[in-house]
Amino acid sequence: MFKVAVIPGDGIGPEVVSEGLKILDALEETTSLRTRRTQLDVGSSRFLRSGELLTEEDLSILIKQDAIFFGSIGDPRVPTGILEKGILLAIRTRLDQFVNLRPIRSWGDYSRLKNDKPFNITFLRENTEDFYMGAGGIFEGGKGRVPLKIKRALYDLEMDLNALSSNQDDYAFEIGVLSRKGIERFADYVMSHAKRTGQERVTVVDKANVCTNLYGLWRDVFRDRAKRNSIDLEFVFVDSMAMALIRNPEHFGMIATPNMFGDILTDLGAEIQGSLGLSASGNINPFGVPMFEPVHGSAPDIAGRNRANPIGAILAVKLMLEHLGMPNLGNMIEDGVEHTIEKGIVTPDLGGTSTTFEVGDSVAEFLRSV
């Protein structure tokens, strides 16, 4: 029995999560899978009602789960950043989910690329360090002192910056930090995931020719971990990677990236698949509670209209079951999605006329029939 916390969230979140749960229901009817689900009211409605974002009580429930299935958050009535930082980033940070997993693959004719060679790439992105540390500030008038305090599960890091410029301009800065231990635990996960999924080569992205300190350490650790695990490494600069993803995505199997480049490249990856609505992701702490979600946001423009593509959420369920040690069920879900797409049962974002329910029903029906 797996304990799963369900957070439908805002906008199209509840609609697509309900289709993901339909898939779990179908599998529970036909296989030995069993889940105990706890739904949490986290998102904009509660925030607007009570001012609460992620509470300690929510967290005390989340840490007892085997996994979290998350829809999306975001609401036009709430200024951008409040819900994202207060809920999504808070869960990732408090549960120290240091790996972001985002597979992308071609889905027949729906790929946006002219090149019709099929591709299937697993992106693994470091999720806690690099330029997204929140370590920044402004030196007004070109001088001053900015003390920085960075708190992570692995460490507390204090830095004290003093600036004195030759003019009185304002200077803004954002520091990228990587710790050896932070890279090591990420690289270890990349190696184990490569072995588990039969990848012999990992492509590692960085910009080590310009950010030599930051990505010099990154490369050292990756070389060491690849050697220990007998995995082939290929280093690619992020600018070349952006081109290669368009030119020959079929070359890549597993791509490991630092936080910021991963953020950008995985959106590019989602787009070449055909629609943002097809992408799923996992936020993983291999020693803690992972969270699985569709990549898209709350899409308020189409919320409540039964036209959201639920495939990202359905594939998030696939990632969750794979992570929980059931790759066979994950494969069945992917087969069900393939079957549904091949039959042309697709939502308007892919040029179809099917509804959110119909896509979910089709995948669930497939699972009941195999």
Q: Which is nearer to ligand ATP, 80 or 192 (CB)?
A: 80
Question: The sheet that has 120-126: what strands, in order across it?
Answer: 35-39, 2-9, 67-72, 291-294, 280-284, 99-105, 120-126, 254-257, 201-206, 232-237
Q: Which is nearer to ligand ATP, 208 or 333 (CB)?
A: 333
**138-167: which residues touch ligand ATP (CB under 6 A)?**
none
Closest CB 76 distance from ligand ATP, rounded Å: 8
Tokens of 87: 């809920």
Q: Which is nearer to ligand ATP, 205 or 316 (CB)?
A: 316
List CB contacts of 216: < 8 A, sequence separation 6 or more: 208
Closest CB 129 distance from ligand ATP, rounded Å: 23
Tell me the window of 33-41, 142-150, 178-186, 308-316 that interacts with ligand ATP (CB under 6 A): 308-316
User: How big is the site for ligand ATP, counted in residues (CB under 6 A)?
Assistant: 17
Q: Which helix (H) or strand (E) holds 149?
A: strand 143-151
Tell whether residue 56 is a contact of ligand ATP (CB under 6 A): no
- How far apart, in whole angstroms, are the C-alpha atoms of residue 110 and residue 341? 9
- How far apart, in whole angstroms, are the C-alpha atoms of residue 124 and residue 102? 6
Q: Which is nearer to ligand ATP, 83 or 231 (CB)?
A: 83
3-state helix, strand, coil in the chain (%, to 5): 45, 25, 35
Using CB under 6 A, pick the residue from 42, 302, 320, 345 that binds ligand ATP. 302
Closest CB 354 distance from ligand ATP, rounded Å: 12
- Check: CB of residue 308 under 8 Å from CB of residue 356: yes
Token look-up 């029903």 returns: 361
Binding mask 14-43 for ligand ATP (x = CB under 6 A): --x---------------------------
Using CB under 6 A, pick the residue from 65, 106, 128, 298 that binds ligand ATP. 298
| Half-sphere exposure in the Cβ direction for 234 (13 Å, CA) | 14
Q: Which is nearer to ligand ATP, 299 or 333 (CB)?
A: 299
Closest CB 312 distance from ligand ATP, rounded Å: 6
Using CB under 6 A, pick the residue from 23, 87, 121, 308 that binds ligand ATP. 308
**267-296: which residues touch ligand ATP (CB under 6 A)?**
276-277, 296
Tokens of 350: 């892919």
Q: Which residue is nearest to ligand ATP (CB)?
A: 297
Which ranges of 63-114 would DSSP assign to H, the alpha helix? 82-83, 90-94
For residue 258, which of 301, 222, 305, 297 has the smallest C-alpha distance?
222
Q: Which is nearer to ligand ATP, 137 or 297 (CB)?
A: 297
- How far apart, in whole angstroms, are the C-alpha atoms of residue 345 and residue 359? 6
**188-227: which residues touch ligand ATP (CB under 6 A)?**
none
Closest CB 309 distance from ligand ATP, rounded Å: 3
List CB contacts of 147: < 8 A, sequence separation 6 or more: 158, 159, 160, 161
By DSSP bridging, strand 2-9 and strand 67-72 are: parallel
Q: Which is nearer to ligand ATP, 24 or 295 (CB)?
A: 295
Q: Which is nearer to ligand ATP, 158 or 301 (CB)?
A: 301
Q: Hey, what amino acid is at 311?
A: I
Binding mask 329-368 for ligand ATP (x = CB under 6 A): ------------------x-x-------------------
Binding site for ligand ATP (CB under 6 A): 12, 16, 72, 74, 276-277, 296-299, 301-302, 308-309, 312, 347, 349
